[in-house]
């Protein structure tokens, strides 16, 4: 517990200042997290990532993840979707010449990972571009959800939420997580009066974000169980890997952008 707490504190000391600064610093730090996330997916699948395959996959996730205005000329002249698909085609071509070490399924896992992780982290950058208060709102909802789910699950949990995937999670914990997130968001919005990029009905948004975040956590538990691993990585002592820490955030950030687009 001491190592876990210390690791979390160090992580926040790095993340929060970069979130506050925003701009290029936050964008490229987020790219680093995304690249590590794809590496962790490759590692779970048993793909040799420290190779040409890893270089191409990292380029693919980079062009998905980093918004266009954070790239430099002449890269800004390229079509980013084309570059992503070119990376896909190169990896598929490598299955012909490296078929003993790289299969079609490996390429599918890598490219889906690039899209899944890339878009999740990309939307964090876009949210920060909307304002520090916006991205802080998302993280407050996620932190409150985790805390509430743990407390309610520990003291009131009886009915399993997804016993085949995550036996320790309960329906009571999930509901408690949503309830705690709503209370935290009300306190945040009504006390600090943050500018949330014109977001209305933030309580409904909080509910959707909390549910999406918890589903993201369950999804990661499902693919870790599929690959037979306990943690996605070891970069964060006591917490596991990047995906272990940002599984909820990836799902929630995608839901956040869906909400913004539907509300326009």
Percentage of the chain exceeding pLDDT 70: 94
pTM to 2 decimals? 0.91
Whether the pLDDT of residue 259 is over 80: the answer is: yes
Q: What is the pLDDT of residue 147?
A: 94
Tokens describing residue 114: 């690039």
Write down the pLDDT at residue 234: 78
Distance CA 108, CA 106 (A): 5
Do residues 250 and 117 lie in contact, with contact meaning Cβ atoms separated by under 8 Å? Answer: yes
Instruction: Reply yes or no: is the peptide bond before residue 74 cis, omega within 30 of 0.
Output: yes
Q: What H or E segment, with its residue span, contains residue 161?
A: strand 160-162
> Taking residues 155-170, what's their average pLDDT?
89
At residue 3 the predicted structure's pLDDT band, cuts being 50, 70 and 90, is: low
Furthest C-alpha separation in the chain: 60
Minimum mean pLDDT range among 42-51, 87-96, 142-151, 189-198: 189-198
Q: What band does 146 get if pLDDT is binned at 50, 70 and 90?
A: very high
Label residue 198 by pLDDT band (50, 70, 90).
low
CB neighbour class for 131 (10 Å; exposed up to 12, middle 13-18, buried from 19) = middle
């Amino acid at each position: 517990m001491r190592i876990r707490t210390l690791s979390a504190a160090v992580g926040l000391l790095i993340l929060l200042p970069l979130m506050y600064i925003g701009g290029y610093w936050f964008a490229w730090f987020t790219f680093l997290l995304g690249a590590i996330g794809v590496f962790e997916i490759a590692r779970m699948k048993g793909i040799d990532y420290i190779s040409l395959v890893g270089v191409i996959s990292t380029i693919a996730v980079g062009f998905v993840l980093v918004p266009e205005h954070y790239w430099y000329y002449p890269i800004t002249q390229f079509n980013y979707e084309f570059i992503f698909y070119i990376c896909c085609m190169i990896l598929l071509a490598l299955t012909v010449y490296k078929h003993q070490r790289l299969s079609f399924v490996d390429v599918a896992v890598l490219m889906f990972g690039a899209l899944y992780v890339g878009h999740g982290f990309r939307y964090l950058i876009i949210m920060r571009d909307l304002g520090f208060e916006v991205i802080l709102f998302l993280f407050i909802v996620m932190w409150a959800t985790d805390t509430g789910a743990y407390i309610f699950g520990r003291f009131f949990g009886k009915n399993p939420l997804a016993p085949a995937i995550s036996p320790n999670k309960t329906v009571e914990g999930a509901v408690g997580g949503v309830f705690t997130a709503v209370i935290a968001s009300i306190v945040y919005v009504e006390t600090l009066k943050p500018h949330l990029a014109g977001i209305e009905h933030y309580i409904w948004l909080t509910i959707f974000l909390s549910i999406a975040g918890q589903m993201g956590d369950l999804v990661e538990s499902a693919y870790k169980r599929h690959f037979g691993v306990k943690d996605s990585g070891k970069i964060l002592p006591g917490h596991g890997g990047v995906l272990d820490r940002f599984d909820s955030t990836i799902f929630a950030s995608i839901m956040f952008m869906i909400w913004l687009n539907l509300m326009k």
